[in-house]
Amino acid sequence: MQVDLFADAADLTAQLVDIESVSGAEGPIADAIEAALRPLPHLSVERDGHAVVARTGLGRAERVILAGHIDTVPVAGNLPSRLSQGVLHGCGTADMKAGVAVALRLAATVPEPARDVTFVFYDCEEVEAERNGLLRLSRRRPDLLDGDFAVLMEPTGDVVEGGCQGTMRAQIRAAGRRAHSARSWLGRNAIHEAGGILDVLRGYQPRQPQIDGLAYHEGLNAVAISGGVAMNVIPDECVVTVNFRFAPDRSAADAEAYLREVFAGWDVQVTDSAGGARPGLAEPAAAAFVAAVGGTPRAKLGWTDVARFDALGIPAVNFGPGDPQLAHTRDEHVEVAAIAECEARMRRWLSGQPFSEA
Amino acid sequence: MQVDLFADAADLTAQLVDIESVSGAEGPIADAIEAALRPLPHLSVERDGHAVVARTGLGRAERVILAGHIDTVPVAGNLPSRLSQGVLHGCGTADMKAGVAVALRLAATVPEPARDVTFVFYDCEEVEAERNGLLRLSRRRPDLLDGDFAVLMEPTGDVVEGGCQGTMRAQIRAAGRRAHSARSWLGRNAIHEAGGILDVLRGYQPRQPQIDGLAYHEGLNAVAISGGVAMNVIPDECVVTVNFRFAPDRSAADAEAYLREVFAGWDVQVTDSAGGARPGLAEPAAAAFVAAVGGTPRAKLGWTDVARFDALGIPAVNFGPGDPQLAHTRDEHVEVAAIAECEARMRRWLSGQPFSEA
């Protein structure tokens, strides 16, 4: 399979979408990307598993990273891609092959950018963190991720979204004592006890802090509940799984301490957590990016791999075409005009041109 | 496999326990019971599936039914039976092969009872109602279940337990609207909504009515709860399964109306229900039984097949050796003395002798 980096960005997006690449099966799309980049004389290209990294080496004062994952969630009857009235439909159109197409176009067509650029196309973003290709690169080839600033080309509707919120999951457990349900007063019903956990959640007031001028919005929600032994038994355990989305002024450790305070008196077991990233828009590289691409930045509320760059000490923002709300839906789509708009803005930035509203 | 109806009742109980008879696999024990009863000249014996019915035909003014199920719950490493310090341990000892042994002993050794007797040994009591052998007999051979009064020899600790409570299960459903958990305020969390269902359960005050002089005790409990779509999704549904145990002064229809009133405003779906049985201890046949076997009757709180006799218009009570709390436990056991005591009391009743405390 081949892709043509000199086709227009919407066309290139469709080519990428039509190479199915559900997480774990990115071989063919990584091969196609590598094969398309290798002939370009201004780039040095490296391959690590199903990740491809291409870099300019112009000796510029600043190096920026443009990154995008090449995997998708499972196909939902929405392949191959379909173009209709200026909208491209299909699995991965918004999340995030349109962003990947823009980055590939820039890699091919801006041979002498004002800043040195590292293009990172990586695998397994849509699955558990341990398999994430960016994490693997950061462990095996940290040298490839050196840089002053990163743009993660996740869908943001062509608006700069700064930082990201952290996410933590915990199991809150209510205990009881089993009994036959015909003599329920001999036991203690753990599901009824779990009403106290739901009381906490129903009474929770989310914090909406301003951080570096952006408005974050926390959330604490049950995402699962389960309890029950048999249809005639008073259950002795009920587990509520909560998902805490926390603003990036809390570390993961702070967030856990807060969660334990909120559920004081309950058995709390944290099952996974990932810290967020502060927006860092005051950093010179980030400020220059915002100035070049224009628009009013807003907070990123969902967790993204900008947090990985943050952990590597690299300021990062999210910026890309497409509506993030459409990610992972059967009706996922992206507007052709939004892809072109993103490419134009990024091109101005990489060329060192000032922003001017069209 | 053979059983000896002239062994003592504890010995016979052990023989029955050692013929494994988990629901659906009652063939061998039914064969053994049928083979033991057939040679007895004072009984006419009929077989229906894995149920065996044996009747005297003395032309007495009154016909009574002694009934017991011959199946057990799954074996839990507690076979074969083990006799230790006057206690017989093993699967089915209390629920209810001790009661079956007493009935078989009476069938064999009281050839001329003061009342005509129908002995009913039936299958599949421990599984879903549709498979119940007594239900099948009532449909295929209602003539075999004719009678004025029935004793179900379920474990009651040798105390007459009158009637039984009804049981009903219903799913109470809370609805919401899905959203990504990073932007939870765009959705409505059905698990949080279900807190309102748990509020109802936590605030419920059980009724404890006196019926025919016996104290019943209702109960309304969650026996299962489930909700959750994915670990990053605000769930749009949460289902609480409740079990309502209701006193026999409510019909199943009354109980359902009450349940719908308690959960007014919620989506309520009744999944199964079985009405209870009033104790009927004022009926002459029941009163005569209580007078003969002695003791102070109490209410049966769990549902039993006395409700089936009630539905056939036959007053019925529960009376048998063993602790009902031990039913379905790994440590199920019965005291040898309790089996003998039950047999002695039943024998006095069938012989027409007045009760006198030993």
Cβ-based contacts of A228 with chain B (< 8 Å): 222-226, 241
Q: Is A71 a catalytic residue?
A: yes
> What token pair was written down for A172?
């809150």
Interface test with A, best of B192, B239, B300 (most A CBs within 10 A): B192
pLDDT at B358 over 60: no
Instruction: Express each pLDDT in A107-166 by its tens digit.
Output: 999 999 999 999 999 999 998 888 999 999 999 999 999 999 999 999 999 999 999 999
Report which residue type is found at A4. D
DSSP state for residue A224 in the 8-state scheme: E
The three-point CA angle B329-B333-B335 to 5° equals 155
Q: Does the beta-carbon distance from B181 to A221 stay under 8 Å?
A: yes
* Catalytic member of A34, A95, A123, A125: A125
**Per-residue pLDDT at A357:** 54
The partner residue sitting opposite A233, judged by closest CB among B182, B199, B223, is: B223
Name the pLDDT band for B355 (thresholds 50, 70, 90). Answer: low
Name the pLDDT band for A103 (thresholds 50, 70, 90). Answer: very high
Side-chain-side CA neighbours of B34 within 13 Å: the count stands at 16
**Per-residue pLDDT at A1:** 85
Mean pLDDT of chain A: 95
CA distance A234 to chain B (A): 6
Instruction: Express each pLDDT in B312-327 by its tens digit.
Output: 999 899 999 999 888 8
Q: How far is B89 from B75, CA to CA, in rounded Å?
A: 12
A–B interface: beta-carbon pairs under 8 A? 152
Cβ-based contacts of B192 with chain A (< 8 Å): 198, 201-202, 221-222
Q: How far is A305 from A316, CA to CA, in rounded Å?
A: 9
Cβ-based contacts of A161 with chain B (< 8 Å): none
Q: Identify the helix (H) or strand (E) that includes residue A135.
A: helix A133-140
Query: What is the distance in angstroms between the CA of the first residue and the CA of the last residue of chain A?
Result: 36
Query: What is the distance in angstroms between the CA of the first residue and the CA of the last residue of chain B?
Result: 36
Instruction: Express each pLDDT in B194-203 by its tens digit.
Output: 999 999 999 9
Pure H helices in B74-169: 98-109, 133-140
pLDDT at A358 over 70: no
Q: How far is A292 from B154, CA to CA, in rounded Å?
A: 84
Which candidate, B37, B200, B180, B349, places its Cα nearest to that of A327? B180
Dihedral pair phi/psi, residue A13, rounded to 5°: -60, -45
Q: Looking up tokens 């009235």, which residue turns up? A: A85
Q: How far is A122 from B60, CA to CA, in rounded Å?
A: 90
Instruction: Express each pLDDT in A7-58 by its tens digit.
Output: 999 999 999 999 999 999 999 999 999 999 999 999 999 999 999 999 999 9
**Per-residue pLDDT at B198:** 98
A200–B contact, CB cutoff 8 A: no
Cβ proximity of A145 and A120 under 8 Å: yes
* Catalytic member of B26, B34, B71, B161: B71
Cβ proximity of B295 and B287 under 8 Å: no
B318–A contact, CB cutoff 8 A: no
Rounded mean pLDDT of A81-93?
Answer: 97
Q: Looking up tokens 């919620």, which residue turns up? A: B266
Name the pLDDT band for B6 (thresholds 50, 70, 90). Answer: very high
Q: Using CA coordinates, name the residue in chain B closest to A182.
A: B302
CA distance B349 to chain A (A): 30
pLDDT at B1 over 90: no
Q: Using CA coordinates, name the residue in chain B closest to A233.
A: B223
The partner residue sitting opposite B228, judged by closest CB among A189, A206, A224, is: A224
Interface test with A, best of B218, B231, B270 (most A CBs within 10 A): B231
A222–B contact, CB cutoff 8 A: yes
A139–B contact, CB cutoff 8 A: no
Rounded mean pLDDT of B208-225?
Answer: 96
A202–B contact, CB cutoff 8 A: yes
Q: How far is B108 from B102, CA to CA, in rounded Å?
A: 10
**Per-residue pLDDT at A81:** 98
Q: Does the beta-carbon distance from A232 to B224 stay under 8 Å?
A: no
Q: Using CA coordinates, name the residue in chain A closest to B326.
A: A180
B303–A contact, CB cutoff 8 A: yes
Q: Cis before residue B80, ω within 30 degrees of 0?
A: yes
Q: What is the ipTM score, two decimals?
A: 0.86
pLDDT at A176 over 90: yes
> What token pair was written down for A285?
């590289």
The partner residue sitting opposite A241, judged by closest CB among B192, B228, B303, is: B228
Q: Does the beta-carbon distance from B224 to A235 stay under 8 Å?
A: yes
CA distance B52 to chain A (A): 29
Cβ proximity of A12 and A105 under 8 Å: yes
**Per-residue pLDDT at A171:** 98
pLDDT-wise least confident of A196-200, A280-284, B38-42: A280-284
* Catalytic member of B26, B34, B95, B125: B125
Cβ proximity of A282 and A201 under 8 Å: no
Name the pLDDT band for B192 (thresholds 50, 70, 90). Answer: very high
Instruction: Express each pLDDT in B230-240 by its tens digit.
Output: 888 999 999 99
